[in-house]
Structure 1
Amino acid sequence: VPAQRGPLPKPSLQALPSSLVPLEKPVTLRCQGPPGVDLYRLEKLSSSRYQDQAVLFIPAMKRHLAGRYRCSYQNGSLWSPPSDQLELVATGVFAKPSLSAQPGPAVSSGGDVTLQCQTRYGFDQFALYKEGDPAPYKNPERWYRASFPIITVTAAHSGTYRCYSFSSGDPYLWSAPSDPLELMVTGRGGADQTFLPQEYGFISHLAFFLFPETSRSITASPKEPGSPAGPTRHYYTKGNLVRICLGAVILILLAGFLAEDWHSRRKRLRHRVRAVQRPLPPLPPTRKSHGDQDGGRPDVHSRGLCS
């Protein structure tokens, strides 16, 4: 076997079928390096537990097995760099939250929607998971709910979503998933549509009310033969200018009203009253495993990860 030149490539570590594991369900951790590896080492960080094997099969997920894992391998006298850390999460430890869509689960392409996860307990962390995506989206919020805004949705945002709640004090012990929410992106957005038909009608009626003669002159019948053309054209031009100016003024006023309303709504949301703090639900009793408070890589004896 030729000698290794340069640093060894780092291995990869993955959880199958997923790194989000319901309690009492099986999961397999697999470390993958280049061919011809002499020795694999798979370890649980912040503990003294590790095993010198590439594959760890967990037949039933337990709370004490949740946490951060990494692996490395040895070729000859050289150790590889460690893999990226894998966060193994136990789900179903707490009651499920609720997931809703505002303004609704059906949204036009190009529109906006907000997915809101809410729980009755005082959790300060939330995660949104889309079926088929490799990892959840996390969002800290300290008031029993978290909002996940999706701006300018596309067909790729369609799918099934679930959310979880958990505490930053136990970041790998999550609630059960919420009931699934199906987000449907319907049709095309209205980029080429006019969104102010009511305002336009309002402008027309207001112009007619303020300047009835000018408005009627626009629909006057054609001039009779021999009548002077100059004054009539001047009258039409003046009426059109008045309408254009009036419409521009009203549009500016409407834009100002809309901007003020949007600003006031944002201000109200920013200063909304928060709920009274509620306690976290108690954890089920468990036995404290030895070595959970130790840190660093073990250097003498191997201890089983599942024990």
Structure 2
Amino acid sequence: MAFVLTVLLLELPAPGPSISVSPSRVIAPGGAVTIRCQCRCEARRLFLYKDGTEIQELDAAGDGGEFIIPSARREDGGVYRCRSRSTLEPPNWSDPSDIVRIIVVEPSYPKPSISLRPSGGVSLGGAVTVRCWGRHQNMRFLLYKDGNPTVLQDVEPAGDLAEFPIRNVSRRDAGSYSCYYHDKCWAPEAGFLPAPPMELEGEAAPPGHPDFTYANIARLVLSTMVLFVLGLILSDAYYSHLRGAPRSLDNRNMVE
């Protein structure tokens, strides 16, 4: 019995581009903002998404490309990310980048101040507090982490200081944090200042949940196929050995 082995080679997604915004992620109406996507972009095309919908594309040059909003309107505010695709067929898509949030708002309030307590590094499993000061009383404060479009915490302190505790710190908590504040009766956010990254010390903690990205899924599928092919090869060798043994015995009997 013959076995026909077919090995499929899966092309893994390219690494996701990095994304950044200049001069600021909070701009006044009419201001200009540049969204830069960086990657290993040889023979690739860049795509920009806003709130999950593709809005622009361009051919990458060298290490990336820039998308420019020359005169921002309120509707330009939102969550942006980018992705690249090969220009060759079949197209190979990259993983998506992290997200950046752009806010278009009238500068009705001054920016808040932001700091960490303790200000030095924090050990894994320890605790740290993000502190935000505004110049107005009885405001609502919101805490964001870069790469996450949702609010992590929100508080309504009686004074001008808001504290956001982060307990049992893990490596997942490392990154840059931003806080915003606005009047309790007015939804648009105002005021922005990114926090410095939290430097964590100690050994890396094992992740609590597996990260099933497109690349990881493709690797799992490829590994499973390789194991399956190896199993077929071993089975074929085993049964060939069994079929060969009786024939050798019959030959000896005939000679005798």
Normalised-by-shorter TM-score class: 0.3 to 0.5
* TM-score normalised per structure 1: 0.35
Higher CA-based Rg: 1
* TM-score normalised per structure 2: 0.41
Determine which structure has greater relative contact order: mean sequence separation of CA pairs < 8 Å that are 6+ residues apart, divided by chain length: 1
